[in-house]
Amino acid sequence: MDVEPEIIDGKYFLGTLCRWGHKYEGKPVSLRYLSGSKYCVECMRARMKYYHDSHRQEHRAKARYAYRKKVMARLEMG
Ligand SMILES: [Zn+2]
C-alpha cells in the first residue's frame, strides 16, 4: 500500500523529485500541485520569472528600435 502523500496548504503535496531536480527543503522530493501538473512549485516559479524576464527584454528591444527610427528620421530630414 502506498504512503499517503503529505498535503501542504491544501494545494500541494510532496511528490517524486521533478525532472529538473528541485528539492524541497533539501529532501529528495518536490513540492507538487495536487492538480497534477508535471511541474513542481519551483518549476512554475522559474517559468514565471523566465517569462517575465523575456517579456521585459522584448519590451526594451522595441523601445530601442523606436528610438533608432526616430533618430534616423531626423537625420534624413536634416
Ligand atoms: Zn521542479
**Within a domain: residue 54?**
yes
Q: What are phi and psi of 72, to 5 degrees?
A: -60, -40
**Within a domain: residue 2?**
no
More confident position, 4 or 41: 41
Query: Which residues line ion ligand 1, judged by CB < 5 Å?
Result: 18, 20, 22, 40, 42-43
Which grid cell sits at 41?
Answer: 512549485
Which grid cell sits at 60?
Answer: 526594451
**Within a domain: residue 18?**
yes
Domain holding 27, by residue range, is 7-77
- In angstroms, what is the span from residue 67 Cα to ligand 1's centroid? 40
pTM > 0.85: yes or no: no
- In angstroms, what is the span from residue 15 Cα to ligand 1's centroid? 11
**Within a domain: residue 44?**
yes
More confident position, 6 or 71: 71
**Within a domain: residue 21?**
yes
pLDDT beyond 90 at 44: yes
Number of domains in the chain: 1
pLDDT beyond 80 at 26: yes
